[in-house]
Amino acid sequence: MKFGIIGLGKIGGNLSLQAIRKGHQVTGYSLSLEELNFFKSKGLESADSIHSLVEMLDPPRIIFLYIPHGEPIDDVCEKIIPYLKSGDVLIDGGNSHWQDSVSRYKKFKDQGIYFLDCGTSGGVEGAINGACFMVGGDIEAYEIAKPIFKDLSVPEGCMYVGPAGSGHFTKLIHNAIEFGMLQAIGEGVALLKASDYKLDLPEIMSNWSHGSVIRGWLIELMEKGLRENKFDELSDYVEDTREVRWAVEFGLKKEVWIPVIAQAELALYRSRDSENVSAKSVALMRNGFGGHPLHKKKT
């Protein structure tokens, strides 16, 4: 099949390479000329604008968007809508808020254009070798794009979830679960490092990857990271796109008890506070009421 991808970053770009490898024709557009030239050298048909990308595809057009949520995806949607025709299928494969996806669905629906919200999981490795897709929107639109979804996913890794917004909502909850798992593994590693035993942490991760109850890809990634990096040289700052806060907000609204997910989200905020103001405040108060010692920052 022939389809388009707007946004050739880690996920969109590698999905395009997987598609090309599997015999699909992919037309791509990126704001980065460097990205565009790289993927063009790999067989991508490059477009120099959103308009030209649409014109290079035959109707019904299938176009994936791998753009950051919020203003960037809104900007692309505003630019592309005048060029699409009734029956075209636009797919947001990023991590947009599910309610924003419902609003975009309605806007495109009014023009006779299909809009699918597609949660994409599996990371860079999944984009290269086979992803996991959770798709929301009109079933007839899903059926049009289904051959592409099926070909770019792992076996049983493609699912039509339900109406507009359900794909991105499902992916959000997936990410919330992921945060809890990451935090539990991180805390486990902290306990191992704090022990009096001289433990080979990468080997322990390898051991846990073979037959243990907690075996899985995240444990494998922990082993890989420990082998490739010196732990003590790493910063404790954790990069995050802050989407799981939407799950926490949803849980509060619906009064769903999610202590693990909420604590995992809050744990990330600690890495933003390089001065750890709250801990310093506690130390000051404990010094005031109990005479507990204050420790100065090491220089």
Catalytic-role residue among 79, 107, 178, 220: 178
Helices of type H across the chain: 10-21, 33-41, 50-55, 71-80, 98-109, 123-129, 139-152, 166-194, 201-208, 217-228, 244-254, 259-270, 277-290
Nearest-angstrom CA–CA distance, 263 and 265: 5
Among residues 156, 157, 126, 145, the alpha carbon closest in space to that of 15 is found at 126
Query: Distance between CA atoms of 52 and 213, rounded to whole angstroms?
Result: 51
Q: Give the position of tokens 């980065």.
A: 32
- Tell me the CA end-to-end span of the chain in Å, nearest whole number: 61
Q: How far apart are CA 137 and CA 92, in angstroms?
A: 11
25-29 and 2-6 strand pairing: parallel
Distance, in Å, from the CA atom of 230 to the CA atom of 119, rounded to the nearest integer, reads 33
Q: Is 140 a catalytic residue?
A: no
User: Cis peptide before 259, with omega less than 30 degrees from 0?
Assistant: no
In the residue annotation, 193 being an active-site residue is answered as no
Which of the residues 35, 171, 223, 243 is marked catalytic? 171
Burial class (CB in 10 A: 0-12, 13-18, 19+), 162: middle
Catalytic residue annotation: 171, 178
